Amino acid sequence: MSTSTTGLKAPSRPASQWTNWGQWAALVTMTVDHVTRYLLPDAWDAGWASSSIGRIAFPLFAAMVAWHGLFNTRSPGRYAWRIVVIGLFAQLPYMTMPRDGFQLNICFTLALGLVWGSWLRDTADRVSRSQGSLPLAALAVAATLVAWYIIGHWVEYSHLGLLLIPAYMLAFQALSQASLQLSDRLLATLAALPVLTVAGMMNSSDMAKSFTVATTLLMLFFAAGAARFVPQVIVKMPRKLWLAWYPGHFAVIALILHWPWLMEKIA
């Protein structure tokens, strides 16, 4: 069993084969969402793809980040920084997409959610071990809630997006450690309610809500033990492709969107 950089005991590590499949699914569903939203003409009436297939991407990305942050890394902070670096490369083409006002892309939402979720877990662990003051911990949590309220206006998926990873981490830890006793299973089920609530509030249409909640439910089943039944992926995602796809696909979309304008400027 691994330990975190703070010396605290980490949750037992469940099988993670599903994340290799999740990488392919996340990239495909995200690309479908963005191509549908930014490139296809309104006359094609393809909005259903963004409201269905496209709603799988974010809860899937968030689940993988929460899973790795909880089970597969000794340093969630370094992991979050790698996500921020991808976001920095993607931000410029991302800003050329049609939208109202300035917004930081999804990488910043994921990284901040991971840092917050890891900090909350470590804080709760210290308090439960009587190594921290409960009043001071409550004050610190209140301060992070103020930061959450402020930052939520500037990141993609807003306040609910920032909540998703901490809620996933709470549910994953409870479900993966629950015994077969009824009391443990009931507590684990209660721990899963926040992430399902957040997922259900993230979209406006019934179709979008159903796909987001269904994706989240599947992630919870993996944490509850179903992950061990997932076979190895047939073709593993190349690391360079995984790191480059998010900024790269936005760069391609930006070129397609603005190519006529660029040609006019050159002429």
Sign (positive or negative) of CA dihedral 101, 104, 109, 112: negative
pTM of the full predicted structure?
0.90
DSSP run (H or E) holding 84: helix 76-95
Distance CA 47, CA 26 (A): 18
Q: Which residues pair with 3 in a beta bridge?
A: 9
pLDDT for residue 155 is more than 60: yes
Q: For 58-113, write each residue's pLDDT tens digit.
A: 999 999 999 999 999 989 999 999 999 999 999 999 999 988 889 999 999 999 99
Q: For 195-234, write each residue's pLDDT tens digit.
A: 999 999 998 899 999 999 999 999 999 999 999 999 999 9
C-alpha dist (Å) from residue 87 to 7, 97, 116, 247, 255: 30, 15, 18, 7, 18
Residue 207 C-beta-side C-alpha neighbours within 13 Å: 8
DSSP run (H or E) holding 39: none
Q: For 165-199, write each residue's pLDDT tens digit.
A: 999 999 999 999 888 787 888 998 999 999 999 99
